[in-house]
Amino acid sequence: MKAELIIDAPILDTKQIWIKKVIKPHFDHPFHFHQFCELVWIEKGCGKIIVGDYAGIFSEGELIIEGPELPHLWVSDDIYYKHKRNLYIKVYALYFPPNIVPDITEDSESIALFKRLLDKAQRGLRFYGETKKQIIELFQKMINSKGLQQMGYFLEVLHILNKTSEFEYLASVGYEHKFNSNLDLDRFNEVYQFLLTNFHLDIGLREVAQICNLTPTAFCRFFKTRSQKTFIRFLNEIRIGHACKLLQNDKYPIKDIYYECGYNNPVNFFKTFKLIVGKTPNEYRNHFNVMTTNDK
Protein backbone atom coordinates (compact mmCIF):
# COMPACT_ATOMS: atom_id res chain seq x y z
CA MET A 1 0.00 0.00 0.00
CA LYS A 2 1.30 3.46 -0.86
CA ALA A 3 1.99 5.62 2.16
CA GLU A 4 -0.81 8.08 2.75
CA LEU A 5 0.15 11.66 3.49
CA ILE A 6 -2.46 13.22 5.72
CA ILE A 7 -0.35 16.18 6.75
CA ASP A 8 -0.59 19.41 4.78
CA ALA A 9 3.10 19.38 3.87
CA PRO A 10 4.11 21.58 0.93
CA ILE A 11 7.25 19.54 0.22
CA LEU A 12 5.90 16.58 -1.72
CA ASP A 13 8.38 15.47 -4.38
CA THR A 14 10.90 18.12 -3.30
CA LYS A 15 14.27 18.10 -1.54
CA GLN A 16 13.24 20.49 1.19
CA ILE A 17 12.68 20.31 4.92
CA TRP A 18 9.52 21.67 6.48
CA ILE A 19 8.63 22.60 10.06
CA LYS A 20 4.99 22.46 11.08
CA LYS A 21 3.82 24.32 14.17
CA VAL A 22 0.71 22.94 15.86
CA ILE A 23 -1.19 24.79 18.57
CA LYS A 24 -4.51 23.12 19.27
CA PRO A 25 -6.69 22.07 22.20
CA HIS A 26 -5.57 18.46 21.60
CA PHE A 27 -4.23 16.04 18.98
CA ASP A 28 -6.76 15.12 16.31
CA HIS A 29 -4.88 13.11 13.66
CA PRO A 30 -5.94 9.47 13.21
CA PHE A 31 -3.59 6.49 13.12
CA HIS A 32 -1.54 7.04 9.96
CA PHE A 33 1.82 6.90 8.22
CA HIS A 34 3.50 8.90 5.46
CA GLN A 35 6.63 8.95 3.32
CA PHE A 36 8.60 11.51 5.34
CA CYS A 37 10.86 11.24 8.33
CA GLU A 38 9.31 13.18 11.20
CA LEU A 39 11.13 14.66 14.20
CA VAL A 40 8.58 15.76 16.81
CA TRP A 41 9.18 18.14 19.71
CA ILE A 42 6.37 18.35 22.26
CA GLU A 43 6.85 21.80 23.74
CA LYS A 44 3.54 21.59 25.61
CA GLY A 45 1.15 18.71 26.14
CA CYS A 46 0.97 15.11 27.35
CA GLY A 47 -0.88 11.94 26.48
CA LYS A 48 -0.41 8.53 24.92
CA ILE A 49 1.42 7.47 21.80
CA ILE A 50 1.44 4.46 19.49
CA VAL A 51 4.44 4.00 17.22
CA GLY A 52 4.45 0.79 15.22
CA ASP A 53 3.74 -1.91 17.80
CA TYR A 54 4.77 0.32 20.72
CA ALA A 55 2.19 1.78 23.09
CA GLY A 56 3.25 4.25 25.77
CA ILE A 57 3.02 7.78 27.09
CA PHE A 58 4.49 11.11 26.08
CA SER A 59 5.15 14.14 28.26
CA GLU A 60 6.02 17.78 27.85
CA GLY A 61 9.49 18.17 26.37
CA GLU A 62 9.51 14.87 24.47
CA LEU A 63 11.68 14.54 21.37
CA ILE A 64 10.81 11.59 19.11
CA ILE A 65 11.74 10.67 15.55
CA GLU A 66 9.59 8.43 13.35
CA GLY A 67 10.93 6.92 10.15
CA PRO A 68 9.14 6.89 6.77
CA GLU A 69 6.00 4.74 6.60
CA LEU A 70 6.11 4.03 10.34
CA PRO A 71 2.48 4.08 11.55
CA HIS A 72 1.85 6.34 14.54
CA LEU A 73 -0.88 7.91 16.62
CA TRP A 74 -0.71 10.72 19.19
CA VAL A 75 -3.64 11.08 21.60
CA SER A 76 -3.86 13.77 24.28
CA ASP A 77 -4.85 12.90 27.84
CA ASP A 78 -8.57 12.91 28.58
CA ILE A 79 -8.50 16.28 30.31
CA TYR A 80 -7.54 18.01 27.03
CA TYR A 81 -10.87 16.98 25.51
CA LYS A 82 -12.92 18.54 28.31
CA HIS A 83 -12.71 22.12 27.04
CA LYS A 84 -10.25 23.36 29.63
CA ARG A 85 -9.35 26.82 28.38
CA ASN A 86 -5.90 26.80 29.93
CA LEU A 87 -4.90 23.48 28.33
CA TYR A 88 -3.55 23.08 24.81
CA ILE A 89 -0.81 21.32 22.89
CA LYS A 90 2.10 23.11 21.28
CA VAL A 91 4.09 20.89 18.95
CA TYR A 92 6.76 21.34 16.30
CA ALA A 93 7.18 18.63 13.68
CA LEU A 94 10.17 18.64 11.33
CA TYR A 95 9.53 16.71 8.12
CA PHE A 96 12.26 15.72 5.68
CA PRO A 97 12.41 13.25 2.77
CA PRO A 98 14.44 10.06 3.29
CA ASN A 99 16.63 10.86 0.27
CA ILE A 100 17.57 14.39 1.34
CA VAL A 101 21.23 13.66 2.16
CA PRO A 102 22.01 11.62 -1.00
CA ASP A 103 20.37 14.43 -2.98
CA ILE A 104 22.69 17.12 -1.62
CA THR A 105 25.99 15.24 -1.38
CA GLU A 106 27.84 12.32 -2.92
CA ASP A 107 30.04 11.84 0.16
CA SER A 108 29.78 8.11 0.87
CA GLU A 109 30.49 8.42 4.60
CA SER A 110 27.75 11.05 5.11
CA ILE A 111 25.26 8.96 3.12
CA ALA A 112 26.12 5.82 5.11
CA LEU A 113 25.68 7.63 8.44
CA PHE A 114 22.36 9.06 7.35
CA LYS A 115 21.15 5.64 6.21
CA ARG A 116 22.12 4.22 9.59
CA LEU A 117 19.99 6.89 11.29
CA LEU A 118 17.05 6.09 9.01
CA ASP A 119 17.38 2.38 9.78
CA LYS A 120 17.16 3.12 13.51
CA ALA A 121 14.29 5.57 13.01
CA GLN A 122 12.23 2.79 11.42
CA ARG A 123 11.51 1.67 14.97
CA GLY A 124 10.94 5.18 16.30
CA LEU A 125 13.44 6.73 18.72
CA ARG A 126 12.91 8.72 21.91
CA PHE A 127 15.85 10.98 22.79
CA TYR A 128 16.87 12.14 26.24
CA GLY A 129 19.70 13.78 28.18
CA GLU A 130 22.11 16.27 26.68
CA THR A 131 21.16 15.17 23.17
CA LYS A 132 17.56 16.25 23.68
CA LYS A 133 18.66 19.62 25.05
CA GLN A 134 20.97 20.26 22.09
CA ILE A 135 18.37 19.25 19.50
CA ILE A 136 15.65 21.41 21.05
CA GLU A 137 18.02 24.41 20.98
CA LEU A 138 18.69 23.75 17.29
CA PHE A 139 14.96 23.23 16.69
CA GLN A 140 14.33 26.73 18.04
CA LYS A 141 17.00 28.13 15.73
CA MET A 142 15.52 26.34 12.72
CA ILE A 143 12.09 27.73 13.49
CA ASN A 144 13.47 31.27 13.37
CA SER A 145 15.63 30.90 10.26
CA LYS A 146 15.32 30.24 6.54
CA GLY A 147 17.31 29.05 3.54
CA LEU A 148 20.91 27.97 3.94
CA GLN A 149 21.02 28.96 7.60
CA GLN A 150 18.06 26.72 8.38
CA MET A 151 19.59 23.89 6.33
CA GLY A 152 22.83 24.30 8.27
CA TYR A 153 21.02 23.84 11.58
CA PHE A 154 19.20 20.83 10.13
CA LEU A 155 22.46 19.14 9.10
CA GLU A 156 23.81 19.82 12.59
CA VAL A 157 20.73 18.07 14.00
CA LEU A 158 21.43 15.03 11.81
CA HIS A 159 25.07 15.02 12.93
CA ILE A 160 24.08 14.94 16.62
CA LEU A 161 21.40 12.29 16.09
CA ASN A 162 23.87 10.12 14.19
CA LYS A 163 26.49 10.06 16.93
CA THR A 164 24.34 9.95 20.07
CA SER A 165 23.63 6.95 22.24
CA GLU A 166 21.07 8.86 24.33
CA PHE A 167 17.94 7.28 22.91
CA GLU A 168 15.60 4.37 23.34
CA TYR A 169 13.86 2.36 20.65
CA LEU A 170 10.07 2.34 20.61
CA ALA A 171 8.83 -0.34 18.18
CA SER A 172 10.11 -3.90 18.43
CA VAL A 173 13.13 -5.28 16.57
CA GLY A 174 12.16 -6.13 13.02
CA TYR A 175 8.83 -4.33 13.18
CA GLU A 176 7.32 -3.81 9.73
CA HIS A 177 3.75 -2.65 9.28
CA LYS A 178 1.43 -4.91 7.34
CA PHE A 179 -1.54 -2.67 6.71
CA ASN A 180 -2.89 -3.66 3.32
CA SER A 181 -5.68 -1.13 2.85
CA ASN A 182 -7.35 2.00 4.12
CA LEU A 183 -9.86 -0.31 5.79
CA ASP A 184 -7.04 -1.79 7.89
CA LEU A 185 -5.94 1.68 9.00
CA ASP A 186 -9.51 2.75 9.74
CA ARG A 187 -10.17 -0.36 11.80
CA PHE A 188 -6.99 0.02 13.82
CA ASN A 189 -7.62 3.71 14.34
CA GLU A 190 -11.03 2.92 15.85
CA VAL A 191 -9.62 0.13 18.01
CA TYR A 192 -6.67 2.22 19.23
CA GLN A 193 -8.84 5.24 19.98
CA PHE A 194 -11.20 3.00 21.95
CA LEU A 195 -8.40 1.35 23.92
CA LEU A 196 -6.62 4.61 24.72
CA THR A 197 -9.87 6.04 26.05
CA ASN A 198 -11.22 3.00 27.90
CA PHE A 199 -8.12 1.04 28.98
CA HIS A 200 -8.99 1.59 32.66
CA LEU A 201 -12.29 -0.28 32.25
CA ASP A 202 -12.97 -4.00 32.08
CA ILE A 203 -12.69 -4.44 28.30
CA GLY A 204 -14.10 -7.62 26.78
CA LEU A 205 -12.62 -9.16 23.65
CA ARG A 206 -16.04 -9.46 22.02
CA GLU A 207 -16.67 -5.74 22.59
CA VAL A 208 -13.47 -4.75 20.77
CA ALA A 209 -13.98 -7.31 17.98
CA GLN A 210 -17.36 -5.74 17.22
CA ILE A 211 -15.62 -2.46 16.38
CA CYS A 212 -14.08 -4.27 13.39
CA ASN A 213 -17.21 -6.32 12.64
CA LEU A 214 -15.24 -9.50 13.31
CA THR A 215 -15.67 -12.50 15.56
CA PRO A 216 -13.33 -12.60 18.58
CA THR A 217 -11.25 -15.36 16.98
CA ALA A 218 -10.99 -13.54 13.64
CA PHE A 219 -10.19 -10.27 15.41
CA CYS A 220 -7.33 -11.80 17.43
CA ARG A 221 -5.83 -13.23 14.24
CA PHE A 222 -6.33 -9.93 12.38
CA PHE A 223 -4.84 -7.86 15.21
CA LYS A 224 -1.73 -10.00 15.61
CA THR A 225 -1.11 -10.24 11.87
CA ARG A 226 -1.20 -6.46 11.43
CA SER A 227 0.31 -5.27 14.73
CA GLN A 228 2.64 -8.23 15.35
CA LYS A 229 1.48 -8.40 18.96
CA THR A 230 -1.43 -10.13 20.64
CA PHE A 231 -4.37 -7.96 21.61
CA ILE A 232 -3.92 -8.76 25.33
CA ARG A 233 -0.23 -7.84 25.22
CA PHE A 234 -1.00 -4.54 23.52
CA LEU A 235 -3.76 -3.65 25.99
CA ASN A 236 -1.43 -4.45 28.89
CA GLU A 237 1.24 -2.17 27.42
CA ILE A 238 -1.24 0.71 27.28
CA ARG A 239 -2.25 0.08 30.90
CA ILE A 240 1.31 -0.25 32.16
CA GLY A 241 2.31 2.87 30.24
CA HIS A 242 -0.36 4.78 32.16
CA ALA A 243 0.89 3.24 35.39
CA CYS A 244 4.38 4.54 34.59
CA LYS A 245 2.95 8.02 34.18
CA LEU A 246 1.21 7.87 37.56
CA LEU A 247 4.34 6.50 39.22
CA GLN A 248 6.21 9.62 38.14
CA ASN A 249 4.14 11.55 40.69
CA ASP A 250 4.94 10.54 44.28
CA LYS A 251 1.49 11.60 45.49
CA TYR A 252 -0.06 8.46 43.98
CA PRO A 253 0.32 5.42 46.28
CA ILE A 254 1.30 2.31 44.36
CA LYS A 255 -1.52 0.37 46.02
CA ASP A 256 -4.05 2.70 44.30
CA ILE A 257 -2.43 2.88 40.88
CA TYR A 258 -3.38 -0.53 39.57
CA TYR A 259 -7.09 0.29 39.91
CA GLU A 260 -6.57 3.41 37.81
CA CYS A 261 -5.01 1.28 35.06
CA GLY A 262 -7.70 -1.37 34.73
CA TYR A 263 -6.31 -4.06 37.05
CA ASN A 264 -8.44 -5.52 39.82
CA ASN A 265 -5.75 -7.88 41.02
CA PRO A 266 -2.52 -6.38 42.45
CA VAL A 267 -0.60 -9.61 41.89
CA ASN A 268 -1.48 -9.53 38.17
CA PHE A 269 -0.51 -5.85 38.01
CA PHE A 270 2.92 -6.35 39.60
CA LYS A 271 3.64 -9.41 37.45
CA THR A 272 2.62 -7.63 34.22
CA PHE A 273 4.51 -4.46 35.16
CA LYS A 274 7.74 -6.37 35.75
CA LEU A 275 7.28 -8.33 32.52
CA ILE A 276 6.82 -5.20 30.37
CA VAL A 277 9.04 -2.63 32.13
CA GLY A 278 11.72 -4.93 33.52
CA LYS A 279 11.42 -3.29 36.94
CA THR A 280 8.97 -3.39 39.82
CA PRO A 281 6.76 -0.30 40.27
CA ASN A 282 8.93 0.81 43.21
CA GLU A 283 12.12 0.35 41.23
CA TYR A 284 10.66 2.32 38.32
CA ARG A 285 9.62 5.20 40.59
CA ASN A 286 13.03 5.34 42.23
CA HIS A 287 14.79 5.21 38.86
CA PHE A 288 12.61 8.02 37.50
CA ASN A 289 13.31 10.21 40.53
CA VAL A 290 17.05 9.70 40.12
CA MET A 291 16.92 10.49 36.39
CA THR A 292 14.84 13.62 37.04
CA THR A 293 17.30 14.82 39.67
CA ASN A 294 20.26 14.28 37.31
CA ASP A 295 18.53 16.31 34.56
CA LYS A 296 18.25 19.38 36.80
CATH no. for residue 263? 1.10.10.60
Which amino acid, residue 293?
Answer: T
Closest CA to 257 of 244, 238, 268: 244
Q: Are residues 199 and 252 in the same domain?
A: yes
Q: Same structural domain for residues 191 and 123?
A: no
This model's pTM is above 0.85: yes
Give CA angle at 47 (231, 50), nearest 5°.
35
Residue 230 or residue 83, greater confidence: 230
Query: Of 171, 172, 238, which is closest to residue 203 (Cα–Cα)?
Result: 238
pLDDT for the residue numbered 82: 80
Q: Would you say residue 11 lies in a domain?
A: no
pLDDT over 90 at 162, yes or no: yes
| Shared domain check, 193 and 291 | yes
Closest CA to 228 of 89, 121, 123, 77: 123
Contact 142, 93 (CB under 8 A): no
Mean pLDDT over residues 76-104, rounded? 89
The lowest-confidence range among 19-33, 80-94, 97-111, 149-163 is 80-94
**pLDDT surpasses 70 at 10:** no
Single residue among 141, 169, 197 that ends a domain in this structure: 169
Per-residue model confidence (pLDDT) at position 13 = 54
User: What is the span of the domain harbouring residue 236?
Assistant: 183-295
Query: What would the mean pLDDT of 217-227 be, rounded to a whole number?
Result: 93
Give the model's confidence band at 71: pLDDT under 50 very low, under 70 low, under 90 confident, else very high.
Answer: very high
Residue 212 reports pLDDT greater than 50: yes
CA gap 61, 91 in Å, rounded: 10
Lowest mean pLDDT among 67-81, 150-164, 278-292: 278-292
| 131 assigned to some structural domain | yes
Residue 126 and residue 254 in one domain: no
| Number of domain units in the chain | 2
Residue 119 lies in a domain: yes
**163 and 48 inside one domain:** yes
Taken as a whole, the chain contains a residue count of 296
DSSP 8-state class, residue 251: T
